[in-house]
Amino acid sequence: MHIVLPDQDFSDLLGVHASALFEMVGQPQCGRLYLVPGVEGVAQAVFVIDASRRDAARFGALATGLPAGDWKLAIAAEALTLCPEIAHDATLGFCMGAYRFALGRETVFPTRLVLTEDARAVVPMAQAIWLGRDLINQPANLLGPEELAQEAADVVSAQGAACEIVSGESLVSAYPCLAAVGAGSDRPAQVVKAIWRGSRAPHDAPLLSLVGKGVCFDTGGYDIKPASGMLRMKKDMGGAALMLALAHVIMAQDLPIRLELRLGCVENSISGHAMRPGDILTTRAGMTVEVGNTDAEGRLVLSDLLTEACEQQPDWLLDAATLTGAARVALGPDLPALFSNDPQLAQLLLNAGAVVGDAMWQLPLWHGYDAWLCRKNAHLGNVTDKPMAGAITAALFLQHFVEPTVKWAHIDTYAWNDSSIPGRPEGGETLALRALVEATLRMINEKAGSQ
């Protein structure tokens, strides 16, 4: 399996069969996979790329385009010079493209990539992507709050984290706003809390805190969604899946930091116990929130978790949620919206995404819209009366529960591929995961350099 540049003369490298092939097809095109015939069938394959930019997902075409059998990478020297990480990206992209969600049956994949010892470093990332996709793709009848919480607990416990699942009266007391969201469901809400420290991390190592929205199904509550709006609501726990996937990579790579993970696992349903429009809820922080729309439940779930996370004064606080349709209107399905109260943290995240080809796009925490959240009978409303800037006002709501001294970033993600493209099959997706891992490495290096 040769990876080459479009303007490269590689006929000597591949032999007479490749020369004849490219005489027939003309100038090789970027992103195309060419199969080179041999005496007994396909002898070699050539994948043509633009090596001036990184994008692991494009290598997913190898998993779907190569014939069955074992394949080894052979990367042209010119491509390696332009992109030293290309072997890493190609291996990870193959794994991304090979993913299949097959509920209740095991799929044997006939096309295999033989890994070098160096390439094995991508395994934790590949595992995390598959983990996140599997969780998001699970139907809601099989993945409720209890199942999501237990799955998360199993993942982090296997990596040596101390984990607690909070439920019942303890949950109502510690997370009253989150509990109100889950009160309408027969499947009780649960919160996963995990603490971990790398084997090379001292007791005062930098602390990274992760918070994820885990709404396993969102009917919209009494402000019920239309049928078309509910079709993909099993993915409303995509923020929790993303944060769990990130935690898995951090722990599997044994990064020298302290880590805390909080996932709010709930279901937003309709019943006599469900919250109503006009209800006033009290949060963990003591602020009151008037429910203007029961379908804006994700920010209520996150509010208590962010408050608790800030009590530990983390060096960095990241949260992720499938929070608003407004973010999708602004940026489409592939670009998660990024909000941050710290310009340096925001730029670090954006730069990391640009480097690894897993982009986010920053939207402002525009203070001019903060007054839109004010209410006469409560400190805040969970929605505004304005039909505009929905993603920004949702992020501004969350900011009220973040200590100003804590460096915080909020990621509003879609968590889904609407159609299949190389490396990104239709279904659940861990958008921004590769960017967040790269950013975590950079945060650690920055912190070490400043000490």
Catalytically annotated residues:
225, 299
**C-alpha–C-alpha distance, residues 434 and 134, integer Å:** 17
Q: Which of 95, 55, 99, 53 is nearest to 73 (CA)?
A: 95
Supply the DSSP symbol for 201.
Answer: -
Amino acid at 230: M
**C-alpha–C-alpha distance, residues 290 and 300, integer Å:** 11
* The Cα angle at residue 29 between residues 70 and 81, in degrees rounded to 5: 70
**C-alpha–C-alpha distance, residues 326 and 243, integer Å:** 22
Note whether 306 and 398 are within 8 A (CB).
Answer: yes
Q: Which of 415, 435, 421 is nearest to 361 (CA)?
A: 435
**C-alpha–C-alpha distance, residues 109 and 100, integer Å:** 9
Note whether 415 and 238 are within 8 A (CB).
Answer: yes
- All residues at 6 or more sequence positions from 220 whose CB lies less than 8 Å from its CB, including other chains: 229, 230, 268, 294, 295
Question: How would you write 207-272 as a 3-class SS string?
Answer: EEEEEEEEEEEECCCCCCCCHHHHCCHHHHHHHHHHHHHHHHHHHHCCCCCEEEEEEEEEEECCCC
CA distance to 13, 326, 426, per residue, from 412 (Å): 46, 10, 20
Note whether 136 and 238 are within 8 A (CB).
Answer: yes
**C-alpha–C-alpha distance, residues 288 and 251, integer Å:** 37
* Helices and strands (H and E) in the chain: how many: 16, 19
Q: How many C-beta atoms lie closer than 10 Å to residue 405's C-beta?
A: 9
Residue ranges in 253-358 assigned as alpha helix (H): 298-310, 325-331, 343-356
